[in-house]
Amino acid sequence: MLKKPETLFVLGYMLLPLFALLSAIVGLTMILGGNKIVGIIVLVVVTQVFTFGAFFALRKRKAALLQEPDALQGPDAGH
């Protein structure tokens, strides 16, 4: 699945927060436009799914980076 820290970085810091922001804008626009029930559902459910997805990706990235201590250190780390 998604185990590469670079992919998780893009998901956690870029894509999922952007989708959360866009869904929040859509939800608020729907509420202001008169579709209150659907707007609240979009605002609460969809935005939170993207937000928690971003937190999950960042947690997974941190765990993946901690499992690869040699990748974080340079080739001269033992000297």
Is the per-residue pLDDT at 76 higher than 80? no
- Which of the four pLDDT bands, split at 50, 70 and 90, describes residue 2? confident
Look up residue 16 and give its DSSP letter.
Answer: H
Within its chain, how far is the Cα of 53 from the centroid?
Answer: 5
Is the per-residue pLDDT at 79 higher than 90? no
Largest distance between two CA atoms of the chain: 66
32/39 Cα distance (integer angstroms): 8
pLDDT in tens, 11-43: 899 999 999 999 999 999 999 999 999 999 999
pLDDT of residue 75: 56
pLDDT of residue 77: 52
Which whole-number Å values give the CA distances from 11 to 7, 20, 50, 65, in the listed order?
6, 12, 10, 15
